[in-house]
Chains A and B, each alone.
Chain A
Amino acid sequence: MSDVFQIAGKTYQSRLIVGTGKYKDFQETRAAVDESGAEIVTVAIRRVNLGQDTSQPSLLEALPPSQYTYLPNTAGCYNSEDAVRTLRLARELLDGHKLVKLEVLGDPNTLYPNVRETLKAAEILIADGFDVMVYTSDDPIIAKELEQIGCCAIMPLASLIGSGMGIINPWNLRLIIDSAKVPVLIDAGVGTASDAAIAMELGCDGILMNTAIAGARDPIRMARAMKLAVQAGRDAFLAGRVPRKLYSADPSSPVTGMIAAAK
């Protein structure tokens, strides 16, 4: 059964994208990524720690860019200028790599996106040749604008980053999914496997998560749970669920051929 998932013209088998933050070491990061089946991994761009022992292994050694598709992000950026600078540095760092995750935050407590700055940065990056996967609010109008200016994937939050609160507003997500002509991925808020399945059952094309796996008591097992949940949710979406019957039942067993009713 072919069910192609493409981002910016490239085909992926896995609809799960995972972050690489919050793990206890690179070994655990690598094990969780591999168990999740993810082909795309997000990374952050940060200053070189000048005092640090440079013989220590780096993330790029633990997850070789030849084996995984890197998705550098702009986490921590609060304006379009910083986000654009960060991703230009990422492109240089990763030898001209074009696929990026844009997020411009508006508030340090909620990490809610600043959509005005996000739109501004997206326009600059797209004009500069980047393939922009964009983190945004679940506002369908903003999602449409981001699509129209050329973002290659729209990534609305399901709930706040790292909150694990799950799918807070499935109706808005459906509005975005139903009208989008580019992939829609849920980015942020997934807490456990059922959240991932619910998101996929809504019809979203994929999910990006970090904390739900890295913060679990057993991240490797949760990585596997998420892989299976994303697959199960996708299959359920494609299979088409039965309609909900609010006030009546529908027996699964034959209603005829019953033995004689007791007197």
Chain B
Amino acid sequence: MIQISINGEAKTFPASLSITDLVLALDLLGKRIAIERNGEIVAKSQYPATWLADGDVLEMVVAVGGG
């Protein structure tokens, strides 16, 4: 198991988890989101090839109403 932080929340997942797997697990497939991993943006095209490691810190964002 690995522990990762997503938007400030600690979450536990089975090891060998790609960002695509994570997006699927969070029911966000097909949603317009952007992801930053340990301070670096991960391009959408890189989701399948980006494997998460224990202690990773993720930010996942969407566009919301604002002025």
Contacts and interface: CB of A to CB of B under 8 A. Distances in A.
Q: DSSP class of A's interface residues: helix, strand, loop or mixed?
A: mixed
Contacts of A48: 7, 26, 28, 31, 33, 60-62
B62 A90 contact: no
B2 interface: no
Interface residues of B, number: 26
Contacts of A58: 31-32, 62-63
A211 B67 CA distance: 8
Contact of B7 (A19, A45, A50, A162): A50
B28 A70 contact: no
A54 B67 contact: no
B58 to A, nearest CB: 10
Interface in B20-67: 26-28, 31-36, 39, 41, 43-44, 59-67
B6 interface: yes
A58 B33 CA distance: 11
B55 to A, nearest CB: 19
Contacts, number: 105
Given A58-B32, A92-B43, A72 B63 contact: yes
Nearest to B36: A89
B63 A19 contact: no
Interface stretch (A20-28, A172-180, A236-244): A20-28
Given A54-B27, A89-B36, A93-B34, A75 B43 contact: no
B33 A93 contact: yes
Contacts of A44: 63-67
Nearest to A89: B34
Interface of A: 19-23, 26, 29, 42-48, 50, 54, 58-60, 70, 72-73, 75, 85-86, 88-90, 92-94, 161-162, 208-211, 214
Interface of B: 6-9, 26-28, 31-36, 39, 41, 43-44, 59-67
18 contacts: A20-B65, A21-B66, A43-B64, A44-B63, A46-B62, A47-B7, A47-B8, A47-B59, A47-B61, A48-B62, A54-B27, A60-B32, A75-B66, A85-B36, A89-B36, A90-B34, A92-B43, A211-B67
